[in-house]
Structure 1
Amino acid sequence: MNRREAIRKTALGLGTAAGVPTLLSLLQACAKEDRLTWTPQFLKEDQALFVSSFVDFLLPRTDTPGGLDVKADIFMDLMYAKAYDEDGQKNVVAQIEKFNQDCKAKYGAVFAEMSVEDKGACFREQEANSPKFPKNVWGTSVGPSEPVGFYRSLKSMALWAYFSSEEIGKNVLSYDPIPGPYQGCIPLSDVGNTWSL
């Protein structure tokens, strides 16, 4: 083998060696992400995938962090593990199973495996058919109330987890750990962004 041929083969080998990791990373990026990156405390893996998919669809990453970025799904799993009694935990598991069964019957797949379009249709249907939270004044319910159902309570917990996270409280919402003087009457335009405290 002459010198020129040896250099050509060496360059080709180096190019292939450099290209393989890039190709593998592209393949991994295109692969369907259906595994958890955390260990659930209470939920089984398929139930945790449901909660993570629900949170990700409800609160996707845009120019602000998404629900999974602030670990709202992990918070919800901990709430089920630590704050719910046994009956409440059984109810959550049963409701997740029912939600997934309904999705499979209507869309041909459990929620975590549905297309974005089908998830959107599912959410629109749930919004239209789920009872609303009762009206309230300063946190006290006013008028008759009925159970809001699984979808609305799951959505509420996801939103609570998201907006009470440190990342959103400090970097997305307005945040003033030491508020200034009380100003009882100011124009709404001076208020600006929603406040986290």
Structure 2
Amino acid sequence: MMMNRRDVLKTAGLVLGYTLTAGTAAAVLGGCSADATPGWSPSFLTADQAKVINGMAEVIIPGTDKMPGAKDVNIAKFIDETYMYYKTPEQQQSLNDDFKAFAEEHDFGAMKDGEKMAFIKSELEKGSKFVKTVYEQSVTGFCTSEKGSKEVLVFDPIPGSQKGCIPLEEVGGIWAI
């Protein structure tokens, strides 16, 4: 069963509101962004880690011919910059350790496309720390990217007045920050 883009983005507010760690918040506020920079190579992540992360992110937030997806914004670049510049050495080591344990147990790249989403859902239910990190960072990176915030979320660079308690249907979607 494929994860519906709408379901992912409905939970984006919760992910951004409840799981945004200090390092990730600093990265977003400091200007880290996910974008498809041609010729980009990771500084913190290895090339294999970046490939796996981008593959997982594309399953989590798939693109269509009308809407951009995680592949269009290069989530691995966002995660690479976040961990390189805004995470503690302990958090950096934790990500590397979690990836190593994940890679020893699973070959995500060898899975068929139809198996990948079920695998990610299963790993999230089991509490896989690496998969949870990639999921959260993917949603954060996508929603704060220019393509994600302007082409998928409702974007208004100079919003009007604040109305705190109105139904989501009246707002017209989840808004970019």
Question: What's the TM-score, normalizing by structure 2?
Answer: 0.69
Structure 2: distance between partners of 1:196 and 1:152: 22
RMSD: 2.2
Instruction: Choose which of 168, 176, 191 in structure 1 pairs with 2:148.
Output: 168
Q: Which runs of 4+ in 1 moved over 6 A?
A: none
Unpaired runs of 5+ residues, structure 1, are 1-35, 104-109, 131-147
| 1:52 counterpart residue number | 54
| 2:3 counterpart residue number | none
Unpaired runs of 5+ residues, structure 2, are 1-37
Instruction: Choose which of 116, 122, 125 in structure 1 pairs with 2:122.
Output: 125
Q: Higher RCO, 1 or 2 (CA under 8 Å, sep at least 6)?
A: 2
Q: What's the CA shift for 1:66?
A: 0.9
**Residues 118 and 171 (structure 1 numbering): CA distance in 2 closer, same or farther, change over 3 Å?**
closer
| Structure of greater Rg | 1
**Residues 188 and 42 (structure 1 numbering): CA distance in 2 closer, same or farther, change over 3 Å?**
closer
Q: What's the CA shift for 1:54?
A: 1.2
| 2:77 counterpart residue number | 74
Q: What's the CA shift for 1:180?
A: 2.1
Q: Tell me whether 116-125 or 53-62 shows the greater mean CA deviation.
A: 116-125
Q: What's the CA shift for 1:185?
A: 6.0
Is residue 154 from structure 1 mapped to residue 128 from structure 2 by the alignment?
no
| 2:24 counterpart residue number | none
Structure 1: distance between partners of 2:48 and 2:79: 15
Is residue 97 from structure 1 mapped to residue 100 from structure 2 by the alignment?
yes
Percent of aligned positions that are identical: 29
Asked whether the 8 Å contact 2:60–2:117 carries over to 1, the reply is: no
